[in-house]
Structures are given as C-alpha cells and as structure tokens.
C-alpha cells in the first residue's frame, strides 16, 4: 500500500482534494476519487478491530468527512454537480470513516457505492 497518496490527501498536499476545495474552491471529481480510493485501500488492507490505529490515519478519517461536508455546504461554495452527487459523496466519506474505525473493510464492496 502506498501510504504517501493517503498522507498527501490528509495533509492537503499538492494536488489533493482538500486543497482543491479549500484553496481553489473547486470540487475536483478526479481528486475526490483519488482520496476515496486511498481511504478505501487503507480500509481493505487494515481490516479488523484488532489493528492498532495510527494517529495520522485516525485524524484524517475523522476530519475529512466533517471538513468536506462543512466547507462545501457553505452557500458561497460553487456546486456545479447535482445535489444527489454531493449527498452520495458525503455518505461515502462517512462510510469510509465508519469502516476505518470499526474495521469493516471497504464499504463500497458491501454497498455498491463505487460508482461515485
């Protein structure tokens, strides 16, 4: 597993989804997919509740769903996609966080959410 992609996303590094929504005020679909794929991969490769959680990962899985929803729900954030897209995206981030903390693996495998 390449943790650098996930760390870059969680740190709002160059080209990350977080930097696109905060710095550029743009919902970059490709960057969002990269973020979710990295989160899902981490969940798949560290399943089960017996694993010791790494602090940086726990902080990212906790922070990202809250921040993305809060920042992009602001009336001044340009929302160029259908409202259902954003609702599904927020739910996917919530599901990924839940899967991380409870060791459920990749939630997209169970719920058919990979089409976001």
Q: Nearest Cα to 108, choosing from 44, 34, 32, 31?
A: 44
Phi-psi category of residue 112: left, alpha or beta, with phi > 0 → left and psi -120 to 50 → alpha: left
Q: Where are the domains of the chain?
A: 3-111
Q: Where are the beta strands (DSSP E) in the chain?
A: none
User: What average pLDDT does this structure show over 81-96?
Assistant: 95
Confidence of residue 53 (pLDDT cuts 50, 70, 90): confident
CA distance 11 to 7: 6
User: What average pLDDT does this structure show over 71-87?
Assistant: 95
Confidence of residue 48 (pLDDT cuts 50, 70, 90): low
């Amino acid at each position: 597993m390449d943790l650098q992609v996930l760390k870059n996303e969680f740190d709002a590094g160059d080209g990350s989804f977080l930097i696109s929504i905060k710095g550029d005020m743009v919902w970059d679909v490709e960057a969002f997919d990269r973020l979710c794929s990295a989160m899902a991969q981490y969940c798949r490769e560290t399943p089960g509740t017996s694993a010791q959680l790494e602090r940086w990962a726990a902080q990212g899985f906790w922070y990202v769903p809250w921040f993305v929803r809060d920042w992009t729900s602001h009336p001044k954030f340009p929302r160029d996609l259908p409202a259902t897209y954003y609702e599904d995206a927020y739910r996917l981030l919530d599901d990924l966080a839940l899967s991380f903390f409870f060791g459920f693996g990749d939630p997209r495998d169970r719920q058919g959410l990979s089409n976001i």
